Amino acid sequence: MKKLLLFCVLCSCFSGTVSAQQKLYTISADSSSFQLTVEGASLLASLPLKCIEQEYPNKTSHTSSSDSDHVLTPKQLHPAFYGCFDWHSCVHGHWMLIRLLKLFPNLPEASRIRDILNRTITSETIKQELR
């Protein structure tokens, strides 16, 4: 139920950008289950796709405006998870993209998602994250 509520809140945030004809999800007649549509999955994918490779602004221990604000840049500190303003949000963004690919392998954004995941999640970047 919490997931349904979160999804409805997210959808309402984007209601101005979604046409009335688009069906983002379906709810069973007895309200016991909820099914995301391909359109809904695309809308959710657009959120991390917009920020996952965006290094700035970034919050490590303070908000950064540029490379000159740090001895190490966010990408140097966290080579796999440097985008989406902070490490934690970036990890969640990666998780969401992977989950959406599992649920919707033919998602229109699938190729772009795979390209990003292949660039950001490599054995080298994960080794650096673990140091």
- Residue 2 is predicted with a pLDDT of 60
pLDDT at 88: 96
Domains of the chain, residue spans: 38-130
| Alpha-carbon distances, residue 37 vs 15, 40, 107 (angstroms) | 16, 5, 10
Angle 75-81-83 from CA coordinates, rounded to 5°: 70
The whole-model pTM stands at 0.78
Please tell me the predicted confidence (pLDDT) of residue 79.
96
- CA 7, CA 15: separation in Å to the nearest integer? 12
Whether the CB-CB separation of 48 and 113 falls below 8 Å is answered with no
Separation between Cα atoms, residue 117 and residue 82, nearest integer Å: 13
* pLDDT score of 60: 82
pLDDT of residue 17: 53
